[in-house]
Amino acid sequence: MSVLDSLLGRGKRVVALDIGSSEIKALEVAASGQSIQLQTFASTKIGNQNETIYAIREIVRHAGFRTKRVISSVSGRSVIVRYVSMAQMPEEDLKQAIRFEADKYIPFEVEEVVMDTQILEDSVKDSDQPEMKVLLVAVRKSLIDEHLALLQEAGLQSQIIDVDAFALGNAFELRARAQGGLPPEKVVALVDIGANKTNINILKGPISYFTREVYLAGNDFTEAVSRKFNLDTQEAERLKCEPGDQAPEVEEAILPTLDDLGNEIQLSFDYFENQFDRVVEEVYISGGSARLPGLQRAFEGAFEKSVVFWNPLENLEVKADRIDVNALNHYASQLAVAVGLASRVRRW
Ligand SMILES: Nc1ncnc2c1ncn2[C@@H]1O[C@H](COP(=O)(O)OP(=O)(O)OP(=O)(O)O)[C@@H](O)[C@H]1O
Ligand SMILES: [Mg+2]
């Protein structure tokens, strides 16, 4: 970036686009020095999958972005994340080696997927065959193609495609940076509860050691309300989000589903704790459904750990003349994935 570019505000600028199953979230950000400036914020709800393209177009039309460059993410069953042990070898040999072993780890043909790997740590373990822990990410090409077509149809230019769970981790790391970084041995679980799924990412220090998507989230809470009060989905959704004086009955209707979700999350903690012999110390919740009254309390009871409703925007510089700061703050918990995508603007 030239000095002139930075004087004219043409620095590195990008739109972070979180295409959720129920809401699209977009943050236009620019890197200025070490900090990230949030310049535009837009969100819109989507009805069903067919409407996604219209929702993105609506955002693009109304938000007034000054760039078409986009960082977005994918998630779901076509995204496979595995943590595998392999014989120690240089990074450049790993890509080749993993192709031969990939069918052990992923349920698709190797030709069907785009793969990436990252060495997490060398575990020496007194053996004559030293091993290393490798993060393997495989995404079905068909999903990437669909995703790219969607962005292109909306007139956007894809720069990076990330994975929801890792974006969540990056958002958390950005927040920790201001506080001197993440202690290398500290284990925390990030839990993002959306509409269709709950994303779990367990970090030790800045490194992700476990991710999982549980298909139990806001839509299931809405369904519980719909059944109990005999309402259609839209009415139940409204009552769930604004229960007013019916709050106790709504909470009670949702409690069994919330228990199920708590159990699924606990299973993930147990798995991690067995694998790594480390305890999850704290839980950080985000996503639209983290705002559900009673959720934080229920989780605290279930996990017997501190459950923190965190603000992913804490470490962004907000350009207040272009943004409705109140609306933004109210919405903050829903922006964790988008903030994580936005954080990559600095590493370009
Ligand atoms: N105040 C509230 N109380 C309870 N639930 C809420 C509230 N506000 C939003 N939600 C729920 O949050 C969900 C939307 O959150 P979010 O935007 O994180 O999901 P998404 O990214 O679209 O979904 P996914 O990640 O599962 O694809 C919806 O299910 C909505 O009902
Ligand atoms: Mg989401």
3-state per-residue secondary structure call for the chain:
CCHHHHHCCCCCEEEEEEECCCEEEEEEEEEECCEEEEEEEEEEECCCHHHHHHHHHHHHHHHCCCCCEEEEEECCCCEEEEEEEEECCCHHHHHHHHHHHHHHHCCCCHHHEEEEEEEEEEECCCCCCCEEEEEEEEEEHHHHHHHHHHHHHCCCEEEEEEEHHHHHHHHHHHHHHHCCCCCCCCEEEEEEECCCCEEEEEEECCEEEEEEEECCCHHHHHHHHHHHHCCCHHHHHHHHHCCHHHHHHHHHHHHHHHHHHHHHHHHHHHHHHHHHCCCCCEEEEECHHHHCCCHHHHHHHHHCCEEEECCCCCCCEECCCCCCHHHHHHHHHHHHHHHHHHHHHHHC
123 with 174, same domain? no
Q: What is the pLDDT of residue 124?
A: 54
Domain assignment of residue 200, yes or no: no
100 pLDDT band, cuts 50/70/90, is: confident
296 with 220, same domain? yes
Q: What is the pLDDT of residue 173?
A: 94
Domain assignment of residue 199, yes or no: no
- What sign results for the dihedral spanned by CA atoms 224, 225, 231, 232? negative
Q: Is the pLDDT of residue 58 over 50?
A: yes
57 with 147, same domain? yes
* Interhelix angle 247-276/218-229, nearest 10 degrees: 150
Ligand 1 midpoint to CA 197 (Å): 10
38 with 87, same domain? no
- Of 18, 19, 21, 22, the one to substitute when testing ligand 1's pocket (max ligand atoms within 8 A of C-beta) is 22
- What sign results for the dihedral spanned by CA atoms 103, 108, 114, 116? negative
Structure tokens at 234: 């839209």
79 pLDDT band, cuts 50/70/90, is: very high
What pLDDT, in 10s, does the model give residues 117-130?
988 876 656 567 78
134 with 175, same domain? no
Question: Residue 103 is part of a domain; what is its CATH number?
Answer: 3.30.1490.300
What pLDDT, in 10s, does the model give residues 311-330?
999 989 998 888 999 999 99
Question: Residue 336 is part of a domain; what is its CATH number?
Answer: 3.30.420.40
Q: Is the distance from the beta carbon of residue 22 to the nearest atom of ligand 1 less than 6 Å?
A: yes
13 with 26, same domain? yes
Structure tokens at 130: 């030293």
Q: Is the pLDDT of residue 242 over 80?
A: yes
Q: Is the distance from the beta carbon of residue 194 to the nearest atom of ligand 1 less than 6 Å?
A: yes
- Please tell me whether the overall predicted TM-score, pTM, comes out greater than 0.85 for this model: yes
The average pLDDT across 172-193 equals 92
Structural domains of the chain, count = 3
Tokens 């228990």, located at residue: 259
Q: Which amino acid is at 277?
A: D
Q: Output the residue whose Cα is nearest ligand 1's atom 1.
A: 241
Domain assignment of residue 121, yes or no: yes
User: How far apart are the C-alpha atoms of 234 and 231, rounded to whole Å?
Assistant: 8
Domain assignment of residue 242, yes or no: yes
C-alpha torsion angle, residues 254, 255, 260, 265 (rounded to 10): 100
- What sign results for the dihedral spanned by CA atoms 49, 157, 57, 318? positive
* Interhelix angle 233-241/247-276, nearest 10 degrees: 80
User: How far apart are the C-alpha atoms of 10 and 254, rounded to whole Å?
Assistant: 48
Least confident residue range of 67-71, 101-105, 143-147, 233-237: 101-105
The average pLDDT across 123-142 equals 83
Q: What is the pLDDT of residue 11?
A: 63
User: How far apart are the C-alpha atoms of 188 and 271, rounded to whole Å?
Assistant: 14
What pLDDT, in 10s, does the model give residues 243-274?
999 999 999 999 999 999 999 999 999 999 99
Q: Is the distance from the beta carbon of residue 44 to the nearest atom of ligand 1 less than 6 Å?
A: no
Q: Is the pLDDT of residue 339 over 60?
A: yes
Q: Is the distance from the beta carbon of residue 287 to the nearest atom of ligand 1 less than 6 Å?
A: yes
Q: What is the pLDDT of residue 73?
A: 98
**Phi-psi sector, 268: left (phi>0), alpha (psi -120 to 50), beta:** alpha
Please give the angle made by the CA atoms of 278, 207 and 29, to the nearest 5 degrees. Answer: 140
| Domain span at 111 | 79-140
166 with 150, same domain? yes
330 with 244, same domain? no
Domain assignment of residue 203, yes or no: no
149 with 253, same domain? no
Q: Is the distance from the beta carbon of residue 218 to the nearest atom of ligand 1 less than 6 Å?
A: yes
Q: Is the pLDDT of residue 239 over 60?
A: yes
151 with 234, same domain? no
Ligand 1 midpoint to CA 230 (Å): 21
Q: How far is CA 4 from CA 13, 262, 348, in A?
A: 15, 53, 19
What pLDDT, in 10s, does the model give residues 80-90?
999 998 888 98
Domain assignment of residue 9, yes or no: yes
Q: Is the distance from the beta carbon of residue 195 to the nearest atom of ligand 1 less than 6 Å?
A: yes
113-123, strands of its sheet edge to edge: 79-87, 131-140, 113-123
Q: What is the pLDDT of residue 1?
A: 45
222 with 303, same domain? yes
246 with 275, same domain? yes
Domain assignment of residue 185, yes or no: no
Domain assignment of residue 193, yes or no: no
Q: What is the pLDDT of residue 5?
A: 47
Residues with CB under 5 Å of ion ligand 2 are: 20, 194
* Interhelix angle 233-241/218-229, nearest 10 degrees: 110
User: How far apart are the C-alpha atoms of 284 and 175, rounded to whole Å?
Assistant: 12
The average pLDDT across 45-56 equals 84
